[in-house]
């Protein structure tokens, strides 16, 4: 009896009890479908985190002002402005071997107006180092010139969201807008960045020279002189992030004349590390979900074994007859294992179909990113076949060891 004969015989046997075969494969269907969907959800979340890391800028440290203590009470981070443009210049100069750029920034919010159209957005005052640190290019137009940065030039770069809302897809380069009632010339539109880590829109912003922001637009009395809201530090290599963070802290403490027992008056955050932690959390959650879904495969395998044991009992006389006319124990073993494998494979294929459909449905309804991974499909189907072999072997071996005479006498 060839393997093809065993396969045909197995399919015919399954066809005789279609409803029972369908119910037997239900556990496999649910298990495989759940594994495919859960892995797709987890991979999609991981992909989104990777996009966020890329949009923020690779190898990025963010330095923000510290807190102030009043009457023994420590207020929140950023309540005291302690960072300066000179700090940024010192970081880039003194740590030039590991720091590619140190970009001081000031931030604010305001209304930008073009003709009879206006839009509320965030305002960022930056130097040219900002674009290197954030890896942010200009899609249309040009960057600021050094003269415009030094001389508080009346120029502005629009984020993609702002450009769309003000100019409805038209070319804004060369147009005049008013920002906090200050007329500025649009010299470019920034490339699209997408969402921030907390769901905000990075493209809903306007970027102006740092000097322009402080002298003409924001006019924040708290930022007198060369004080700034934050400094973005671009590190040359990911392997140097910890060293750069340590050296930056030491240099800033020295510049701010902080003694060993005094706490930092600034905070340094490793944005890439924060995002990587989120990615690792997503990976762990994906594994947990896939493990839970995998339990359904085990339950489905146990169901297959139970049904196959029942089938062996029901077909005892048939087995005895086959052996009486020359079938070997190996032939009986092959046939019953083949039936179990076919049950698992059919369930696996249906499960893959439902899993893919469920993934697409979840992505549409919940607006959740999905990333279908071919290797997950292959592994799920292969594992379902293994379940068939593993749980089908005992009933098949029991059938193969039946005594032909006793089997023919079985009622």
Residue 147, domain member (yes or no): yes
34-38, 124-128, 154-158, 329-333, range with the lowest pLDDT:
329-333
Q: Total domain count for the chain? A: 2
DSSP calls for 188-199: EEEPP--B-TTS
Is residue 70's pLDDT more than 50? no
Task: Report pLDDT for 170.
Answer: 85
Structural domain contains residue 60: no
269 pLDDT higher than 80: yes
Whether the pLDDT of residue 329 is over 90: the answer is: no
Our separate counts of H helices and E strands in the chain read 14, 14
More confident residue, 166 or 330: 166
For residue 302, pLDDT over 80 is answered with: no
Strands 117-126 and 205-209: parallel
Q: What is the Cβ-side half-sphere exposure of residue 206, based on CA atoms within 13 angstroms?
A: 33
* 253 and 147 share one domain: yes
In the listed set 232, 264, 296, which residue is the last one of a domain according to the structure? 264
* Residues forming beta bridges with residue 195, ordered by sequence position: 201
Is residue 59 one of the residues assigned to a domain? Answer: no
Domain that holds residue 195: 81-264
Higher-confidence position of 388 and 346:
346
Distance CA(156)–CA(194), nearest Å, equals 20
Together in a domain, 314 and 241:
no
pLDDT at residue 71, as a whole number: 47
Residues 250 and 301 in one domain: no
Residues 33, 384 contacting (CB under 8 angstroms)? no
Residue 70 lies inside a defined structural domain of this protein: no
pLDDT at residue 73, rounded to an integer = 45
Tens digit of pLDDT for each residue in 360-372? 887 777 676 677 7
At 275 the pLDDT is 56
Q: Are residues 326 and 231 in the same domain?
A: no
Closest CA relative to residue 128, chosen from 116, 144, 115: 144
In a domain, 273, yes or no: no
Residue 357 lies in a domain: yes
Q: What is the pLDDT at residue 207?
A: 94
| Domain assignment of residue 65, yes or no | no
Q: Does pLDDT of 166 surpass 90?
A: yes
Three-class SS of residue 203?
coil
> How far apart are the C-alpha atoms of 75 and 266, rounded to whole Å?
13
Answer with the one of 209, 235, 264 that is the final residue of a domain. 264
Of 47-51, 167-171, 264-268, minimum mean pLDDT range? 47-51
Q: Higher-confidence residue: 65 or 52?
A: 65
Q: Which two tokens stand for residue 291?
A: 């493990």
Looking at the structure, do residues 134 and 35 belong to the same domain, yes or no? Answer: no
Higher pLDDT: 95 or 60? It is: 95
Residue 264 DSSP one-character state: P
pLDDT at 272 (0 to 100): 63
Instruction: Identify whether residues 149 and 249 lie together within a single domain.
Output: yes
Distance in angstroms (rounded) separating the CA atoms of residues 392 and 24: 12
How does strand 69-70 pair with strand 176-179? unpaired
Q: 26, exposed or middle or buried, with CB in 10 Å at 0-12, 13-18, 19+?
A: middle
- What does the alpha-carbon distance between residue 264 and residue 278 come to, in Å, rounded to a whole number? 26
- Residues 273-293 have pLDDT tens digits of 665 666 666 667 667 766 766
Would you state the pLDDT for residue 208? 94
Among residues 196, 229, 264, the one where a domain terminates is 264
When pLDDT is cut at 50, 70 and 90, the band that residue 123 belongs to is very high
Tell me the C-alpha distance between 242 and 61, whole Å.
10
Q: What is the pLDDT of residues 179-202, one digit of tens each?
A: 988 999 999 999 988 776 556 788
Residues 292 and 165 in one domain: no
pLDDT at 314: 65
pLDDT at residue 72, as a whole number: 46
Statement to judge: residues 233 and 179 lie in one domain: yes
Report the pLDDT value the prediction gives residue 242, as an integer from 0 to 100.
Answer: 85
CB of 214 closer than 8 Å to CB of 229: no
Minimal CA–CA distance to 348: which of 363, 356, 394? 356
- SS3 of 122, please? strand
Of the candidates 1, 32, 253, 220, the residue with the CA atom closest to the CA atom of residue 125: 220
Taking the C-alpha atoms of residue 109 and residue 385, their distance in angstroms, rounded to an integer, is 60
pLDDT per position as a tens digit, 338-358: 777 777 788 888 888 888 888
Angstrom distance (rounded) from CA 17 to CA 193: 57
**pLDDT score at 274:** 60
* Separation between Cα atoms, residue 365 and residue 103, nearest integer Å: 41
pLDDT at residue 273 in the model: 62
What tokens appear for 330 in the block? 């190996």
How confident is the prediction for the chain on average, in pLDDT? 79
Same domain (yes/no): 247, 140: yes
pLDDT, residue 55, reads 56
Share of the chain above pLDDT 90, in %: 26
Task: Return all residues near 144 (Cβ < 8 A) that are at least 6 apart.
Answer: 128, 153, 155, 157, 187, 209
Q: What is the mean pLDDT of residues 108-116?
A: 91
Give the rounded distance of the alpha carbon of 346 from its chain centre.
32
Same domain flag for 206 and 316: no
Integer Cα distance of 232 and 60 in angstroms: 7
Residues 176 and 207 in one domain: yes
pLDDT digits (tens, 9 = 90+) for 126-148: 999 999 888 888 999 999 999 99
Calculate mean pLDDT across residues 264-273: 80
Q: Same structural domain for residues 320 and 404?
A: yes
**pLDDT tens digits, 81-105:** 889 999 999 999 999 899 999 999 9
Could you tell me the pTM of the whole model?
A: 0.60
User: 36 in a domain, yes or no?
Assistant: yes
């Amino acid at each position: 009896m060839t393997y093809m004969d065993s396969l045909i015989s197995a399919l015919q046997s399954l066809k005789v009890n279609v409803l029972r075969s369908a119910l037997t494969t239900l556990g496999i269907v649910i298990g495989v479908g759940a594994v495919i969907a859960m892995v797709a959800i987890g991979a999609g979340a991981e992909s989104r985190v990777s996009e966020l890391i890329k949009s923020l800028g690779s190898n990025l440290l963010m330095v923000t002002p510290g807190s102030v203590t009043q009457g023994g009470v420590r207020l929140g981070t950023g309540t005291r402005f302690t960072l300066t443009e000179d700090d940024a210049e010192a970081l880039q100069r003194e740590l030039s071997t590991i720091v590619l750029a140190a970009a001081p920034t000031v931030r604010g919010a305001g209304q930008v107006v073009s003709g009879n159209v206006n839009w509320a957005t965030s305002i960022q005052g930056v130097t040219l180092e900002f674009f290197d640190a954030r890896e942010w290019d200009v899609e249309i137009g040009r960057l600021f010139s050094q003269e415009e940065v030094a001389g508080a030039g009346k120029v502005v770069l629009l984020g993609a969201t702002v450009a769309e809302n003000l100019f409805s897809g038209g070319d804004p380069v060369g147009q005049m807008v008013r920002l906090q009632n200050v007329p500025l010339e649009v010299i470019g539109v920034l490339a699209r960045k997408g969402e921030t880590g907390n769901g905000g829109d990075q493209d809903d912003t306007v970027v102006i020279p740092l000097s322009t922001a402080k002298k003409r637009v924001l006019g924040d009395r708290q930022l007198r002189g060369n004080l700034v809201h934050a400094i973005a530090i671009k590190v040359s290599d990911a392997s140097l992030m910890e060293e750069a963070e340590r050296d930056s802290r030491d240099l800033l403490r020295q510049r701010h004349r902080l003694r060993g027992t005094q706490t930092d008056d600034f905070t340094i955050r490793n944005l890439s590390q924060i995002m990587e932690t989120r990615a690792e959390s997503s990976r762990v959650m994906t594994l947990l979900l896939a493990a839970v879904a995998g339990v359904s495969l085990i339950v489905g395998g146990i169901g297959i074994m139970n049904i196959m044991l029942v089938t062996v009992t029901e077909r005892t006389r048939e087995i005895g007859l086959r052996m009486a006319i020359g079938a070997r124990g190996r032939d009986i073993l092959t046939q019953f294992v083949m039936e179990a494998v076919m049950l698992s494979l059919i369930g696996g294929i249906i499960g893959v179909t439902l899993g893919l459909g469920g993934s697409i449905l979840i992505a549409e309804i919940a607006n959740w990113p999905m990333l279908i991974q071919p290797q997950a499909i292959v592994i799920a189907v292969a594992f379902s076949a293994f379940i068939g072999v593993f749980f089908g072997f005992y009933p098949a071996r029991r059938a193969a060891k039946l005594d032909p005479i006793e089997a023919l006498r079985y009622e």
